[in-house]
Every structure is written in C-alpha cells, then in structure tokens.
Amino acid sequence: MDWDSAKKHCSERNWTWTLELIDQAEKEMQELEDKVNKYENQQKAQRLYNACNY
C-alpha cells in the first residue's frame, strides 16, 4: 500500500492518530532518501576524483 492509499483508508475511518503516524513515517522516509542520494553523490564524486588522479 502506498502513502496516498494508506492516507485515504485512514481518512475514511477517521483514524487521525494513524494519519499522524503515516505523515511522520513519510517524512522520515523522505529524509532517509535524501541522505542516501547525498551519500551516493559523494561516492560518485570521490570515484571520479580518484579516477582522475591515476
């Protein structure tokens, strides 16, 4: 189930505490994805730098 489907499901049942939990989880997932992208970009830059120095 994706975020939007989960939100719709909980909204239909008026589960506000679950909606808050979903929002928090979604925010945490986005922060983790941003960190992963940052680290992947750093790794690519380091590889390029190392390749140019050989």
Nearest one of 24, 20, 26 to 3, comparing CA atoms: 26
Confidence (pTM): 0.69
Which amino acid does the sequence have at 46? Answer: Q
Angle, helix 3-12 to helix 16-52, in steps of 10 degrees: 170
What pLDDT score does 1 carry? 64
pLDDT, tens only, 11-29:
888 888 888 888 999 999 9
Residue 8 forms part of a structural domain:
no
Q: How many domains does the chain have?
A: 1
Domain assignment present for 36: yes
Domain-located, residue 9: no
Residue 14 lies in a domain: no
Any domain includes 18: no
Domain hosting 52: range is: 25-54
